[in-house]
Structure 1
C-alpha cells in the first residue's frame, strides 16, 4: 500500500528545490516580503510545488514518488515565475502611486488599485478631474511596461439618486478611465470596463464620509490566461509558459 508520508517528504523537498531554482538576480532589489520575511514568489512557488506533487502522484499511480517530484517542479516553477512578475509590478505601482491618493492592494496573484472619488471625478460627472490626470499618466506608463495583465476598470457610486442613474454614471466613469489609458498607449485589447453603481459599498451610505468612500474607481490587474510571463530586465530574456 502506498504511504502518504514519503509523498509529503518528496513534495517538501521538491518545493525547496523549486525555491532555490527560481532565484533571480533581482531577488534582493525590493522584492515584496510577507510578514514572515518570505517573499510572495517563494510562497507561491512552495504552495504550487506541493499542489503539483499531489497532482503528479495522482496521475502516475505506478510511480507516485517520481510523479510527485515532476509535478512539484513544474507547478512550483510556474507559480514562482508569475509571483516574481507580480512582485515587481506591485513594487513599481506602489512607487508610482505614492502620494497620489491611489491605494495599491495585493490579493493573491491579482493587484487592485483603488482610486477615491475626491481625486477622480466631480459630483455627478464623468469628466476626469484635473487632479486625476497625473495618477492616470503614471498608471499608463506602468501598464505599458508591465504589459502581461488584463486591466479591468470598475466604476462605483454612492446610493444617492436612482439606481439606474448611478449605474449609468459609474459605467461612464469607468469608460472615461479606460478610454484615457488607451489614448496614452495602453493596448485597448487588455482593457475592459463596467459600472457597478452603488453595489459593493465599502462604507455606509448613511453619512457623507461613507458616501465619499463609496464613490471610487477600481482597477483590477489579472494574469492573462495562457500568456508568457517574462522576467523583464533580465539580460538572458528567459520566458516561462503558463498553461
Structure 2
C-alpha cells in the first residue's frame, strides 16, 4: 500500500520546498506564530490528504462521490465550490478557536490538524474524554456542509517499530472516523488511512516534536459534479 504513495509524494516535494520559503506569520485565529515548521506541517498535511485517495483504493474519492450523488446529495460546480468551502472554513475556524486544532486551506480543500496532546493518550488509540467536545464542534459543521468528503489520516512519532506505528496510526484514524459516524456523519463520506511515522512535522528527537507528530489530520474535500 505504501509503495503506491511514493510517486505522489515525490512529485510534491518541489512544491513543498517552495511553499516553506519565507513563511512566518501570526495566525489571526489561534494567535500562534506560523513558523516555517508550521508551514511544513500544512504542506505535508496536504500531501497526506491527497494521498488517501490512493491509499484506500483505486478512485476512492470518485467512488464515494458517485455513491453520495446517487443517494441524492447533489454535487457542487463552478464558482459554487469555492464559495461553499469559504463558508465552511469560516464556521470551522469559529468553532475551533482556542481548541488547539488548526485549520489550513489548500485550494478548495481544508485540513484540520488535531495534535496528539488533545486527541489521544501516549501509545493509545482511545479518544481522550475532553476531546469529545472538540469533535462535536467539528461534527456540527460537517453535518451542515454535507457536500464534503472527509479523509481521516493518522500519524505517529518515531518511537517504537515502523510496523507498530503504522497500525497505531490506522487505529487512531479509525477512532476519529467512528466517533464522527456515531454523531451522525454518513459513513459514505469518510475514508481513513494511517501513515505511521512517515510524515513528521517536527523533530522526533525532542518530546515537544514527538508530541506534534502524534496527530490526526482531517482533509475536507468538496463533493463536485462529474
**If the length of structure 2 is used for normalisation, what is the TM-score?**
0.65
Q: What SS does the aligned partner of 2:221 have?
A: strand
Larger radius of gyration: 1
Counterpart in the other structure of 2:200? 201
Counterpart in the other structure of 2:189? 190
Greater relative CO, 1 or 2 (CA 8 Å, sep 6+):
2
Counterpart-to-counterpart distance in 2, 1:98 and 1:146: 19
212-221 vs 77-86, which deviates more? 77-86
CA contact under 8 A between 2:102 and 2:114: conserved in structure 1?
Answer: yes
Counterpart in the other structure of 1:100? 99
Counterpart in the other structure of 1:159? 158
Shift of 1:199: 1.0
Gaps of 5+ in 1: 1-76, 227-242
Q: What SS does the aligned partner of 2:198 have?
A: coil
Report matched runs for 1:51-200 at 5 Å. 78-200=77-199
175-184 vs 216-225, which deviates more? 216-225
Gaps of 5+ in 2: 1-75
1:218 aligns with 2:217: yes
Shift of 1:78: 4.4
Q: What SS does the aligned partner of 1:124 have?
A: coil
Q: What SS does the aligned partner of 1:154 have?
A: strand
The CA deviation string for residues 147-195 of structure 1, in whole angstroms up to 9 with x for no partner, is: 0011000000000000011001010010000000000000110001111
Counterpart-to-counterpart distance in 2, 1:86 and 1:127: 30
Counterpart-to-counterpart distance in 2, 1:225 and 1:172: 29
Shift of 1:142: 0.8
Shift of 1:225: 3.8
Q: Call closer, same or farther: CA 1:154–1:201 in 2, change over 3 Å.
A: same
Counterpart-to-counterpart distance in 1, 2:176 and 2:77: 32
**If the length of structure 1 is used for normalisation, what is the TM-score?**
0.60
Aligned length: 151
Q: What SS does the aligned partner of 1:142 have?
A: helix
Shift of 1:224: 2.0
The CA deviation string for residues 117-160 of structure 1, in whole angstroms up to 9 with x for no partner, is: 00000000011001210111111111000000110000000000
After the TM superposition, which parts of structure 1 deviate over 4 Å for at least 4 consecutive aligned residues?
none
Q: What SS does the aligned partner of 1:165 have?
A: helix
Q: CA RMSD in A?
A: 1.3
